[in-house]
Amino acid sequence: MSTLLRLSGVTAFYGAIQALKGVDLEVNEGEIVTLIGANGAGKSTLMMTICGTPRARHGAIVYDGQDITQLPTYQIMRRGLAQSPEGRRIFPRMTVHENLLMGAHGHASGMVGETIEQVFALFPRLKERQAQRGGTLSGGEQQMLAIGRALMSRPRLLLLDEPSLGLAPLVVRQIFGAIRDLNRSTGLTVLLVEQNAFQALRLAHRGYVLVNGAITMAGGGAELLARPEIRAAYLEGGH
Ligand SMILES: Nc1ncnc2c1ncn2[C@@H]1O[C@H](COP(=O)(O)OP(=O)(O)OP(=O)(O)O)[C@@H](O)[C@H]1O
Ligand SMILES: [Mg+2]
């Protein structure tokens, strides 16, 4: 299995505050990797640092064999990464269809129609609602739209920041099921950040635990789920 993304010793700062303290993390081609951690651990910062904002101050980020640590964000995103950021950030006044088109930047129009059909197959609800404004969708539908929009660029690596946030268990299962189907059918590589540790580790091939800006544990998804310290901190007592 080849490594698609590798972070080595990555640090990131907001002014004087150090949010990442030397992160080592790998995502192999075709894998679903989950990063779990408490509020403020630095999960979103890690996702954003991969995309170049904030920039890593130390260490290296290598994607598909190339050092992207110093590249501007727009150049990083051109290389086949797509992000569905925390809090969805869809365009509320645009329709579902228009929101999806916004994700298709740079692709030929023939390809765009085909990709939209794939997104609709994954999330039939979006097809039914394609003329509705994004801002009037339910929370779960907005999350589907945010993921669908990220998929419109036909990424090799999909970065998902808390897709289950605020959603009912049934909707969470639908969304995680869609991620699993996509991974199995197309081999899409996924880096998933979650507080919903149970579902996210069950979905993942491998996982990492981020505490206070540093990775404290790594292992297979099932293996991490079985560890007493994970259960105590993230499953029974925690979230
Ligand atoms: N723009 C910013 N300016 C200053 N500090 C920031 C900024 N963004 C995040 N931080 C701080 O960096 C730390 C890590 O934040 P981050 O958003 O990465 O955490 P997180 O793990 O995603 O948390 P959550 O689960 O709540 O989303 C926090 O202490 C946060 O207050
Ligand atoms: Mg976050």
The whole-number pLDDT of residue 234 equals 81
Query: Which regions of the chain does DSSP assign to beta strands (E)?
Result: 3-14, 17-28, 32-36, 58-63, 66-67, 81-84, 157-161, 189-194, 206-211, 214-220
Ligand nearest to C-alpha 214: 1
pTM: 0.94
Domain segments of the chain: what residues? 1-80+155-173+182-239, 89-154
Residue showing tokens 């700062």: 13
- Residue positions counted in the chain: 239
Instruction: Using the mean position of ligand 1's atoms as its centre, give its distance from the Cα of residue 113 in Å.
Output: 37
Q: Using one digit for the tens of pLDDT, what is the confidence trace for 103-130?
A: 997 777 778 999 999 999 999 999 999 9
Closest-lying ligand 1 atom to the alpha carbon of residue 15: 4
The whole-number pLDDT of residue 235 equals 76
Q: Is the CB of 206 under 6 A from ligand 1?
A: no
CATH architecture of 1-80+155-173+182-239: 3-Layer(aba) Sandwich (3.40)
Pocket test for ligand 1, best of 17, 34, 86, 192 (most atoms within 8 A of CB): 17
The whole-number pLDDT of residue 236 equals 64
Q: Using one digit for the tens of pLDDT, what is the confidence trace for 38-65?
A: 999 999 999 999 999 999 999 999 999 9
Residue 88 has pLDDT above 80, yes or no: no
Q: Using one digit for the tens of pLDDT, what is the confidence trace for 158-192?
A: 999 999 988 888 889 989 999 999 999 999 999 99
